[in-house]
Homo-oligomer: A and B are copies of this chain.
Amino acid sequence: LARLPIVDGIARYIEEDNAPFSMPGHKGGRGFLFTEEGKRLYYNLIRGDITEVEGMDNLHNAEGIIKEASELLSEFYGSKKSYFLVNGSTSGNLAMIFTSFSEGDKIIVERNCHRSIFNGIIMRKLRPIYVKNIISKKYNAPFSIDMEHFFQLLSEHEDVKGIIITYPNYYGVCVDLKIIIEEAKKRKICILIDSAHGAHFGIDEALPESAVNLGADIVVMSAHKTLPSLTQTAYLHAGNNVDIKKLNFYISAFTSTSPSYALLGSMDYARFFLETKGKETYRACLKIAKRYREKINQLEDFHIISNKDINDELNIKGINLDESRYIINVQKGYSGHLLLRYLREKGIQCEMSDELNVVLILSPFNIEADFEKLYQALKTCPMELLVDQFKEVVISELPKMILQPFEVMEKRHKAVKLSEAAGKVCANSIVPYPPGIPLVMPGELLDEESIALIEVLIKQQVTILGVDGDTVLVIE
Protein backbone atom coordinates (compact mmCIF):
# COMPACT_ATOMS: atom_id res chain seq x y z
CA LEU A 1 0.00 0.00 0.00
CA ALA A 2 1.41 3.38 -0.99
CA ARG A 3 2.06 5.70 1.91
CA LEU A 4 1.66 9.43 2.35
CA PRO A 5 3.65 10.32 5.47
CA ILE A 6 3.43 14.11 5.30
CA VAL A 7 -0.22 14.35 4.26
CA ASP A 8 -1.12 11.86 7.00
CA GLY A 9 0.99 13.75 9.54
CA ILE A 10 -0.80 16.99 8.76
CA ALA A 11 -4.21 15.30 9.08
CA ARG A 12 -3.25 13.76 12.43
CA TYR A 13 -2.10 17.12 13.74
CA ILE A 14 -5.33 18.83 12.69
CA GLU A 15 -7.29 16.10 14.50
CA GLU A 16 -5.61 17.13 17.75
CA ASP A 17 -7.27 20.54 17.50
CA ASN A 18 -4.73 22.32 19.66
CA ALA A 19 -5.14 25.85 21.00
CA PRO A 20 -2.73 27.69 18.69
CA PHE A 21 0.00 29.54 20.60
CA SER A 22 2.67 28.89 17.96
CA MET A 23 3.33 30.10 14.45
CA PRO A 24 1.78 30.81 12.02
CA GLY A 25 0.03 34.04 13.02
CA HIS A 26 -3.20 33.13 11.26
CA LYS A 27 -3.76 30.43 13.89
CA GLY A 28 -5.13 27.60 11.82
CA GLY A 29 -6.91 29.85 9.35
CA ARG A 30 -8.78 32.00 11.89
CA GLY A 31 -6.98 35.11 10.69
CA PHE A 32 -8.39 34.67 7.20
CA LEU A 33 -11.91 33.80 8.35
CA PHE A 34 -11.88 36.96 10.48
CA THR A 35 -12.83 39.26 7.56
CA GLU A 36 -14.78 39.00 4.32
CA GLU A 37 -11.59 39.76 2.35
CA GLY A 38 -9.73 37.02 4.17
CA LYS A 39 -12.50 34.51 3.43
CA ARG A 40 -12.14 35.33 -0.23
CA LEU A 41 -8.50 34.27 -0.08
CA TYR A 42 -9.21 31.27 2.16
CA TYR A 43 -11.77 29.72 -0.16
CA ASN A 44 -9.79 30.53 -3.32
CA LEU A 45 -6.47 29.24 -2.14
CA ILE A 46 -5.99 26.20 -4.36
CA ARG A 47 -7.89 27.47 -7.37
CA GLY A 48 -5.85 30.62 -6.94
CA ASP A 49 -2.61 28.65 -7.04
CA ILE A 50 -1.77 29.83 -10.51
CA THR A 51 1.32 30.80 -12.40
CA GLU A 52 2.37 34.18 -13.77
CA VAL A 53 -0.25 34.42 -16.52
CA GLU A 54 -1.48 37.66 -18.00
CA GLY A 55 -3.40 39.80 -15.53
CA MET A 56 -1.26 38.45 -12.74
CA ASP A 57 2.31 39.74 -12.52
CA ASN A 58 5.97 38.73 -12.56
CA LEU A 59 7.40 38.82 -9.03
CA HIS A 60 10.90 39.27 -10.45
CA ASN A 61 9.90 42.24 -12.57
CA ALA A 62 6.68 43.50 -11.06
CA GLU A 63 4.63 45.86 -13.16
CA GLY A 64 1.05 45.02 -12.21
CA ILE A 65 -0.72 43.75 -9.11
CA ILE A 66 2.47 42.71 -7.30
CA LYS A 67 3.99 46.15 -7.89
CA GLU A 68 0.82 47.80 -6.65
CA ALA A 69 0.68 45.59 -3.57
CA SER A 70 4.34 46.15 -2.75
CA GLU A 71 3.85 49.90 -2.96
CA LEU A 72 1.01 49.61 -0.45
CA LEU A 73 3.33 47.52 1.72
CA SER A 74 6.09 50.10 1.50
CA GLU A 75 3.69 52.92 2.32
CA PHE A 76 2.28 51.07 5.30
CA TYR A 77 5.66 50.29 6.86
CA GLY A 78 7.26 53.58 5.80
CA SER A 79 10.13 52.14 3.77
CA LYS A 80 11.70 53.43 0.60
CA LYS A 81 10.92 50.14 -1.13
CA SER A 82 9.40 46.89 0.12
CA TYR A 83 9.43 43.34 -1.22
CA PHE A 84 7.37 40.18 -0.83
CA LEU A 85 9.50 37.12 -0.13
CA VAL A 86 8.10 33.65 -0.86
CA ASN A 87 11.13 31.91 0.63
CA GLY A 88 10.79 33.29 4.13
CA SER A 89 13.05 35.56 6.12
CA THR A 90 15.81 33.13 5.17
CA SER A 91 15.89 34.56 1.64
CA GLY A 92 15.63 38.13 2.93
CA ASN A 93 18.54 37.67 5.30
CA LEU A 94 20.72 36.27 2.50
CA ALA A 95 19.69 39.06 0.14
CA MET A 96 20.42 41.86 2.62
CA ILE A 97 23.84 40.41 3.45
CA PHE A 98 24.83 39.87 -0.20
CA THR A 99 23.62 43.36 -1.11
CA SER A 100 25.28 45.24 1.72
CA PHE A 101 28.66 43.55 2.00
CA SER A 102 31.51 42.40 -0.21
CA GLU A 103 33.83 39.47 0.23
CA GLY A 104 36.19 39.82 3.15
CA ASP A 105 34.21 42.55 4.89
CA LYS A 106 34.38 42.58 8.65
CA ILE A 107 31.02 42.89 10.37
CA ILE A 108 29.65 42.93 13.89
CA VAL A 109 26.93 40.40 14.40
CA GLU A 110 24.99 39.24 17.38
CA ARG A 111 26.01 35.75 18.43
CA ASN A 112 22.32 35.05 18.79
CA CYS A 113 21.61 35.43 15.08
CA HIS A 114 19.47 33.12 13.03
CA ARG A 115 21.10 30.33 11.06
CA SER A 116 20.26 32.02 7.78
CA ILE A 117 22.38 35.03 8.82
CA PHE A 118 25.32 32.74 9.49
CA ASN A 119 24.79 30.96 6.18
CA GLY A 120 24.92 34.37 4.52
CA ILE A 121 28.16 35.18 6.34
CA ILE A 122 29.71 31.92 5.11
CA MET A 123 28.56 32.26 1.51
CA ARG A 124 29.45 35.97 1.27
CA LYS A 125 32.83 35.18 2.88
CA LEU A 126 32.55 37.78 5.62
CA ARG A 127 34.67 38.07 8.75
CA PRO A 128 32.23 38.11 11.66
CA ILE A 129 32.96 39.63 15.05
CA TYR A 130 30.42 38.24 17.52
CA VAL A 131 28.69 40.26 20.21
CA LYS A 132 28.07 38.23 23.34
CA ASN A 133 24.57 37.68 24.60
CA ILE A 134 23.46 38.37 28.13
CA ILE A 135 21.98 35.29 29.69
CA SER A 136 19.50 36.01 32.46
CA LYS A 137 20.74 34.19 35.57
CA LYS A 138 17.30 34.12 37.07
CA TYR A 139 15.43 32.83 34.01
CA ASN A 140 18.35 31.12 32.24
CA ALA A 141 17.56 32.59 28.82
CA PRO A 142 19.37 34.96 26.44
CA PHE A 143 17.55 38.26 26.88
CA SER A 144 19.83 40.83 25.30
CA ILE A 145 23.14 41.47 23.71
CA ASP A 146 25.94 42.64 25.97
CA MET A 147 25.89 46.37 25.15
CA GLU A 148 29.20 46.99 26.87
CA HIS A 149 30.80 44.29 24.74
CA PHE A 150 29.11 45.76 21.67
CA PHE A 151 30.59 49.22 22.22
CA GLN A 152 33.95 47.72 23.06
CA LEU A 153 33.96 45.80 19.75
CA LEU A 154 32.91 48.91 17.86
CA SER A 155 35.85 50.87 19.21
CA GLU A 156 38.33 47.99 18.81
CA HIS A 157 37.37 47.36 15.16
CA GLU A 158 37.25 50.65 13.31
CA ASP A 159 37.17 48.83 9.98
CA VAL A 160 33.80 47.10 10.41
CA LYS A 161 31.51 47.61 7.45
CA GLY A 162 28.22 47.00 9.18
CA ILE A 163 26.14 45.58 12.00
CA ILE A 164 23.48 42.86 11.97
CA ILE A 165 21.02 42.77 14.86
CA THR A 166 18.11 40.48 15.72
CA TYR A 167 15.13 42.57 16.85
CA PRO A 168 13.32 41.14 18.74
CA ASN A 169 14.84 37.80 19.66
CA TYR A 170 12.83 34.56 19.80
CA TYR A 171 11.64 35.47 23.30
CA GLY A 172 10.26 38.79 22.08
CA VAL A 173 12.96 40.80 23.83
CA CYS A 174 14.21 43.92 22.05
CA VAL A 175 17.56 45.60 22.52
CA ASP A 176 17.85 49.38 22.48
CA LEU A 177 17.92 49.53 18.70
CA LYS A 178 17.65 53.31 18.59
CA ILE A 179 21.05 53.77 20.16
CA ILE A 180 22.63 51.08 17.96
CA ILE A 181 21.28 52.70 14.80
CA GLU A 182 22.52 56.12 15.93
CA GLU A 183 25.97 54.63 16.45
CA ALA A 184 25.94 53.03 13.01
CA LYS A 185 24.88 56.28 11.32
CA LYS A 186 27.57 58.18 13.18
CA ARG A 187 30.17 55.80 11.73
CA LYS A 188 28.48 55.66 8.33
CA ILE A 189 28.27 51.87 8.40
CA CYS A 190 25.18 49.93 7.47
CA ILE A 191 22.74 48.47 9.93
CA LEU A 192 20.72 45.40 8.98
CA ILE A 193 17.89 44.02 11.09
CA ASP A 194 16.55 40.49 11.24
CA SER A 195 13.09 41.38 12.55
CA ALA A 196 11.56 38.00 11.75
CA HIS A 197 9.44 38.18 14.90
CA GLY A 198 8.60 41.89 14.64
CA ALA A 199 6.19 42.33 11.71
CA HIS A 200 3.45 43.59 14.06
CA PHE A 201 5.63 46.12 15.87
CA GLY A 202 4.41 49.69 16.05
CA ILE A 203 0.81 48.88 15.19
CA ASP A 204 -0.06 49.91 18.76
CA GLU A 205 2.01 52.16 21.05
CA ALA A 206 2.10 49.40 23.65
CA LEU A 207 4.22 47.30 21.28
CA PRO A 208 7.92 47.95 20.57
CA GLU A 209 8.69 50.36 17.77
CA SER A 210 9.18 49.03 14.23
CA ALA A 211 12.78 48.65 13.09
CA VAL A 212 11.87 50.42 9.84
CA ASN A 213 10.69 53.49 11.78
CA LEU A 214 13.87 53.50 13.79
CA GLY A 215 15.83 54.01 10.57
CA ALA A 216 17.57 50.71 9.87
CA ASP A 217 18.96 50.30 6.35
CA ILE A 218 17.33 46.94 5.62
CA VAL A 219 14.74 45.17 7.74
CA VAL A 220 13.52 41.59 7.15
CA MET A 221 10.25 40.48 8.77
CA SER A 222 8.52 37.12 8.67
CA ALA A 223 4.89 37.72 7.78
CA HIS A 224 3.76 34.29 8.93
CA LYS A 225 5.21 34.35 12.43
CA THR A 226 2.85 36.93 13.89
CA LEU A 227 0.52 38.10 11.08
CA PRO A 228 -2.32 36.35 9.23
CA SER A 229 -0.10 35.14 6.42
CA LEU A 230 0.90 31.65 5.30
CA THR A 231 4.04 29.93 6.54
CA GLN A 232 7.23 30.79 4.66
CA THR A 233 6.20 34.37 3.80
CA ALA A 234 8.26 37.46 4.63
CA TYR A 235 8.73 41.14 3.89
CA LEU A 236 11.93 43.00 3.19
CA HIS A 237 12.07 46.77 3.66
CA ALA A 238 14.87 48.91 2.25
CA GLY A 239 15.83 52.42 3.30
CA ASN A 240 17.47 55.29 1.45
CA ASN A 241 21.08 54.13 1.46
CA VAL A 242 20.48 50.79 -0.21
CA ASP A 243 21.72 49.90 -3.70
CA ILE A 244 18.32 48.89 -5.10
CA LYS A 245 19.69 47.31 -8.28
CA LYS A 246 21.91 45.00 -6.30
CA LEU A 247 19.10 44.23 -3.90
CA ASN A 248 16.77 43.37 -6.80
CA PHE A 249 19.35 40.95 -8.15
CA TYR A 250 19.88 39.09 -4.89
CA ILE A 251 16.23 38.93 -3.88
CA SER A 252 15.51 37.52 -7.30
CA ALA A 253 18.37 35.04 -7.05
CA PHE A 254 17.27 33.68 -3.67
CA THR A 255 13.56 33.28 -4.39
CA SER A 256 11.67 30.96 -6.73
CA THR A 257 10.93 32.16 -10.26
CA SER A 258 7.64 30.25 -9.87
CA PRO A 259 6.32 32.08 -6.81
CA SER A 260 3.13 30.83 -5.20
CA TYR A 261 0.20 33.22 -5.51
CA ALA A 262 -1.29 31.65 -2.42
CA LEU A 263 1.76 32.87 -0.49
CA LEU A 264 1.74 36.25 -2.24
CA GLY A 265 -1.98 36.72 -1.66
CA SER A 266 -1.64 35.96 2.02
CA MET A 267 1.14 38.57 2.37
CA ASP A 268 -1.08 41.11 0.66
CA TYR A 269 -3.88 40.21 3.07
CA ALA A 270 -1.67 40.43 6.17
CA ARG A 271 -0.74 44.04 5.30
CA PHE A 272 -4.40 44.81 4.60
CA PHE A 273 -5.40 43.31 7.92
CA LEU A 274 -2.84 45.35 9.88
CA GLU A 275 -3.87 48.49 8.05
CA THR A 276 -7.60 48.10 8.59
CA LYS A 277 -7.91 46.15 11.84
CA GLY A 278 -4.41 45.95 13.29
CA LYS A 279 -4.62 48.61 15.96
CA GLU A 280 -7.96 47.63 17.49
CA THR A 281 -7.32 43.89 17.37
CA TYR A 282 -3.80 44.12 18.82
CA ARG A 283 -5.09 46.37 21.57
CA ALA A 284 -7.68 43.71 22.42
CA CYS A 285 -5.04 41.00 22.20
CA LEU A 286 -2.69 42.83 24.59
CA LYS A 287 -5.59 43.41 26.98
CA ILE A 288 -6.60 39.77 27.24
CA ALA A 289 -2.91 38.80 27.36
CA LYS A 290 -2.47 41.06 30.36
CA ARG A 291 -5.58 39.74 32.10
CA TYR A 292 -4.45 36.12 31.79
CA ARG A 293 -0.84 36.96 32.60
CA GLU A 294 -2.04 38.32 35.91
CA LYS A 295 -4.20 35.24 36.51
CA ILE A 296 -1.39 32.84 35.65
CA ASN A 297 1.07 34.77 37.78
CA GLN A 298 -1.17 34.07 40.77
CA LEU A 299 -0.37 30.39 40.33
CA GLU A 300 2.48 29.27 42.52
CA ASP A 301 4.56 27.35 39.99
CA PHE A 302 4.45 29.49 36.87
CA HIS A 303 5.53 33.00 36.15
CA ILE A 304 5.08 34.90 32.92
CA ILE A 305 8.06 37.18 32.54
CA SER A 306 7.29 40.88 32.19
CA ASN A 307 9.21 43.87 31.02
CA LYS A 308 9.69 44.83 34.64
CA ASP A 309 11.22 41.45 35.52
CA ILE A 310 13.80 41.79 32.79
CA ASN A 311 14.63 45.38 33.66
CA ASP A 312 14.87 44.56 37.36
CA GLU A 313 17.39 41.83 36.75
CA LEU A 314 19.47 43.04 33.84
CA ASN A 315 19.42 46.79 34.30
CA ILE A 316 20.20 47.44 30.62
CA LYS A 317 18.87 50.71 29.28
CA GLY A 318 16.17 50.61 26.63
CA ILE A 319 15.43 46.89 26.75
CA ASN A 320 11.83 46.15 25.87
CA LEU A 321 9.62 43.06 25.76
CA ASP A 322 6.90 42.35 23.20
CA GLU A 323 3.95 41.62 25.46
CA SER A 324 2.06 39.79 22.72
CA ARG A 325 4.39 36.96 23.65
CA TYR A 326 4.29 34.83 26.81
CA ILE A 327 7.49 33.53 28.35
CA ILE A 328 6.24 31.07 30.96
CA ASN A 329 9.00 30.43 33.44
CA VAL A 330 9.29 27.45 35.78
CA GLN A 331 11.55 27.29 38.78
CA LYS A 332 14.86 25.48 38.76
CA GLY A 333 14.22 21.80 39.31
CA TYR A 334 11.42 21.80 36.74
CA SER A 335 11.76 21.66 32.98
CA GLY A 336 10.47 24.02 30.31
CA HIS A 337 10.78 21.23 27.75
CA LEU A 338 8.57 18.95 29.85
CA LEU A 339 6.04 21.77 30.33
CA LEU A 340 5.80 22.25 26.56
CA ARG A 341 5.17 18.52 26.18
CA TYR A 342 2.57 18.51 28.96
CA LEU A 343 0.70 21.43 27.41
CA ARG A 344 0.66 19.71 24.03
CA GLU A 345 -0.90 16.66 25.67
CA LYS A 346 -3.52 19.01 27.04
CA GLY A 347 -4.22 20.32 23.53
CA ILE A 348 -2.16 23.49 23.70
CA GLN A 349 0.54 24.11 21.11
CA CYS A 350 3.32 26.38 22.32
CA GLU A 351 6.07 27.82 20.14
CA MET A 352 9.24 26.57 21.80
CA SER A 353 10.90 25.73 25.06
CA ASP A 354 14.25 25.97 26.76
CA GLU A 355 15.37 24.51 30.04
CA LEU A 356 13.30 26.84 32.21
CA ASN A 357 10.89 28.58 29.83
CA VAL A 358 8.13 28.00 27.35
CA VAL A 359 7.45 30.68 24.73
CA LEU A 360 3.98 31.29 23.31
CA ILE A 361 3.17 33.56 20.38
CA LEU A 362 -0.16 35.32 20.81
CA SER A 363 -2.11 36.94 18.02
CA PRO A 364 -5.44 38.76 17.68
CA PHE A 365 -6.88 35.41 16.61
CA ASN A 366 -6.30 33.77 19.96
CA ILE A 367 -9.70 33.72 21.58
CA GLU A 368 -10.61 33.72 25.26
CA ALA A 369 -11.15 29.93 25.11
CA ASP A 370 -7.47 29.45 24.17
CA PHE A 371 -6.32 31.47 27.16
CA GLU A 372 -8.74 29.71 29.47
CA LYS A 373 -7.55 26.32 28.26
CA LEU A 374 -3.98 27.37 28.95
CA TYR A 375 -4.86 28.71 32.38
CA GLN A 376 -6.73 25.55 33.38
CA ALA A 377 -3.94 23.31 32.12
CA LEU A 378 -1.37 25.25 34.13
CA LYS A 379 -3.59 25.42 37.20
CA THR A 380 -4.12 21.65 37.24
CA CYS A 381 -0.59 20.73 36.19
CA PRO A 382 0.83 17.90 38.31
CA MET A 383 4.22 19.45 38.94
CA GLU A 384 5.89 16.07 39.51
CA LEU A 385 5.54 15.57 35.73
CA LEU A 386 7.87 18.48 35.14
CA VAL A 387 10.59 17.56 37.62
CA ASP A 388 14.02 17.62 36.05
CA GLN A 389 17.43 18.25 37.39
CA PHE A 390 18.54 21.76 36.54
CA LYS A 391 21.95 21.79 34.93
CA GLU A 392 23.73 25.05 35.23
CA VAL A 393 25.60 25.34 31.95
CA VAL A 394 26.89 28.82 31.48
CA ILE A 395 29.15 29.61 28.57
CA SER A 396 31.02 32.58 29.85
CA GLU A 397 33.19 33.15 26.81
CA LEU A 398 32.56 32.55 23.12
CA PRO A 399 34.57 29.64 21.71
CA LYS A 400 37.83 30.77 20.14
CA MET A 401 37.72 31.32 16.38
CA ILE A 402 40.53 29.44 14.64
CA LEU A 403 39.33 29.74 11.04
CA GLN A 404 36.84 32.07 9.37
CA PRO A 405 33.50 30.31 8.76
CA PHE A 406 33.97 30.42 4.96
CA GLU A 407 37.47 28.92 5.19
CA VAL A 408 35.99 25.85 6.82
CA MET A 409 33.96 25.13 3.67
CA GLU A 410 37.17 24.49 1.71
CA LYS A 411 38.84 22.12 4.21
CA ARG A 412 38.42 18.37 4.57
CA HIS A 413 36.17 17.27 7.42
CA LYS A 414 35.78 14.11 9.47
CA ALA A 415 33.30 12.86 12.03
CA VAL A 416 34.53 12.26 15.57
CA LYS A 417 32.78 11.30 18.78
CA LEU A 418 31.84 14.24 20.99
CA SER A 419 33.88 12.73 23.79
CA GLU A 420 36.98 12.94 21.59
CA ALA A 421 36.28 16.30 20.00
CA ALA A 422 37.82 18.57 22.61
CA GLY A 423 40.55 20.71 21.11
CA LYS A 424 39.40 20.17 17.52
CA VAL A 425 38.07 22.83 15.14
CA CYS A 426 34.36 22.47 14.49
CA ALA A 427 33.31 22.11 10.84
CA ASN A 428 29.55 22.50 11.31
CA SER A 429 27.19 24.90 12.97
CA ILE A 430 25.93 23.20 16.09
CA VAL A 431 22.45 24.56 16.62
CA PRO A 432 19.78 23.45 19.06
CA TYR A 433 16.41 23.87 17.38
CA PRO A 434 14.38 25.72 18.60
CA PRO A 435 15.57 28.39 19.21
CA GLY A 436 17.95 27.88 16.29
CA ILE A 437 20.93 29.75 17.68
CA PRO A 438 24.45 28.36 17.10
CA LEU A 439 26.41 27.16 20.09
CA VAL A 440 29.55 26.49 18.10
CA MET A 441 30.23 27.94 14.68
CA PRO A 442 32.28 26.46 11.87
CA GLY A 443 35.90 27.39 12.47
CA GLU A 444 35.57 27.62 16.25
CA LEU A 445 37.35 25.50 18.82
CA LEU A 446 35.31 22.70 20.39
CA ASP A 447 36.20 23.32 24.03
CA GLU A 448 35.24 21.31 27.12
CA GLU A 449 32.50 23.73 28.07
CA SER A 450 30.67 23.60 24.72
CA ILE A 451 30.91 19.82 24.59
CA ALA A 452 29.41 19.53 28.08
CA LEU A 453 26.48 21.72 27.05
CA ILE A 454 25.85 19.72 23.87
CA GLU A 455 25.82 16.51 25.89
CA VAL A 456 23.22 17.97 28.26
CA LEU A 457 21.00 19.00 25.34
CA ILE A 458 21.27 15.53 23.78
CA LYS A 459 20.14 14.01 27.08
CA GLN A 460 17.20 16.43 27.15
CA GLN A 461 16.29 15.23 23.65
CA VAL A 462 16.52 18.67 22.12
CA THR A 463 16.93 18.49 18.34
CA ILE A 464 20.46 19.67 17.56
CA LEU A 465 21.45 20.38 13.99
CA GLY A 466 25.09 19.60 13.34
CA VAL A 467 25.28 16.68 15.75
CA ASP A 468 24.70 13.17 14.42
CA GLY A 469 24.04 10.77 17.28
CA ASP A 470 27.09 11.48 19.43
CA THR A 471 29.42 12.57 16.66
CA VAL A 472 30.36 15.99 15.30
CA LEU A 473 32.22 17.08 12.21
CA VAL A 474 35.66 18.58 12.69
CA ILE A 475 38.47 19.80 10.47
CA GLU A 476 40.90 16.98 9.63
Interface, chain A (partner B; CB < 8 A): 2-14, 22-24, 26, 28-29, 32, 37, 40-42, 44-51, 53-58, 60-61, 63-66, 68-69, 72, 86-91, 94, 98, 102, 114-116, 119, 122-123, 222, 224-225, 230-232, 245, 249, 252-265, 267-269, 272, 275-276, 341, 344, 349, 351, 409-410, 413, 433, 436, 463, 465, 473
Given known A-B contacts A56-B9, A256-B91, A260-B230, A50 and B24 have beta carbons under 8 A apart: yes
Instruction: Say yes or no: A14 contacts B51, CB within 8 Å.
Output: no
- Docked pose: A349 CA to B23 CA in angstroms: 36
Complex contact A6–B65 (CB within 8 A): yes
Task: Please determine whether A463 and B29 come into contact, CB atoms closer than 8 angstroms.
Answer: no
Contact indicator A252/B119 (Cβ below 8 Å): yes
**Complex: A55 Cα to B344 Cα, angstroms:** 11
Bound complex: CA of A72 vs CA of B249, how far in Å?
Answer: 36
Contact B257 A2, beta carbon cutoff 8 Å: no
Which B residues lie within 8 Å of A263 (CB)? Answer: 232, 260
Q: Is the CB of A13 within 8 A of B53?
A: yes
For A351, give the chain B residue with the smallest CB separation: B51
- Contacts A7-B37, A13-B50, A119-B252 aside, 12 further interface pairs with beta carbons under 8 A come to A2-B272, A6-B261, A10-B265, A11-B44, A29-B46, A45-B46, A49-B231, A116-B253, A231-B261, A232-B259, A232-B260, A260-B263
Could you say which residues of chain B place their CB within 8 Å of the CB of A254?
87, 94, 254
- Bound-state CA distance A98–B409 (Å) is 11
Across the interface, name the chain B residue whose C-beta is closest to A350.
Answer: B53
Pick the 8 closest A-B CB pairs, nearest first.
A88-B256, A6-B268, A10-B48, A9-B65, A29-B46, A5-B68, A119-B253, A23-B51
A149 CB, nearest partner CB in chain B, Å: 27
With most chain B CB atoms within 10 A of its CB, the pick from A11, A256, A262 is: A256
B26 touches A49 (CB 8 A): yes
Instruction: Given A6-B268, A37-B4, A463-B61, decide whether A344 and B45 contact each other with a Cβ distance below 8 A.
Output: no
A86 to chain B, nearest CB (A): 6
Min C-beta distance of A442 to chain B, whole Å: 10
- Report yes or no: B6 in contact with A53, Cβ–Cβ below 8 A: no
A410 to B103: give the CA distance in the assembly, Å: 11
Q: How many subunits of this chain does the assembly comprise? A: 2
Give Cα A465–Cα B57 distance, bound, in whole angstroms: 13
When the two chains form their complex, are residues B253 and A13 in contact, meaning their CB atoms are under 8 A apart? no
Complex: chain B residue closest to A256, CB-CB: B88
Measured CB to CB, the closest approach of chain B to A335, in angstroms, equals 15
Shortest C-beta distance, A337 to chain B (Å), equals: 11
Cα A476 to Cα B61 with chains together (Å): 24
| B13 pairs with A29, CB closer than 8 A | no
CB-defined A-B contacts under 8 Å, sample of 7: A7-B272, A9-B56, A10-B265, A22-B53, A88-B258, A116-B253, A249-B409
The answer to whether A258 and B66 have CB atoms under 8 Å apart is no
Determine whether the beta carbon of B12 is less than 8 Å from that of A24. no
Q: In the complex, which residues of chain B have a beta carbon less than 8 angstroms from the beta carbon of A2?
A: 272, 275-276
Assess A257 versus B436: contact at CB under 8 Å? Given A54-B344, A60-B465, A87-B91: yes
A55→B12 contact, CB < 8 A: yes
State A114–B258 Cα separation when bound (angstroms).
12
Q: Determine the distance from Cα of A269 to Cα of B28 in the docked complex, in whole angstroms.
A: 21
Residue of B nearest to A84 (CB): B6
Beyond A87-B87, A232-B260, whether A24 also contacts B51 by CB under 8 A is yes
The CA-CA distance from A447 to B73 in the complex, in Å, is 40
A341-B54 Cα distance, complex, nearest whole Å: 9
Cα(A51)–Cα(B197), bound, Å:
14
Most buried by B among A10, A41, A54, A122: A10
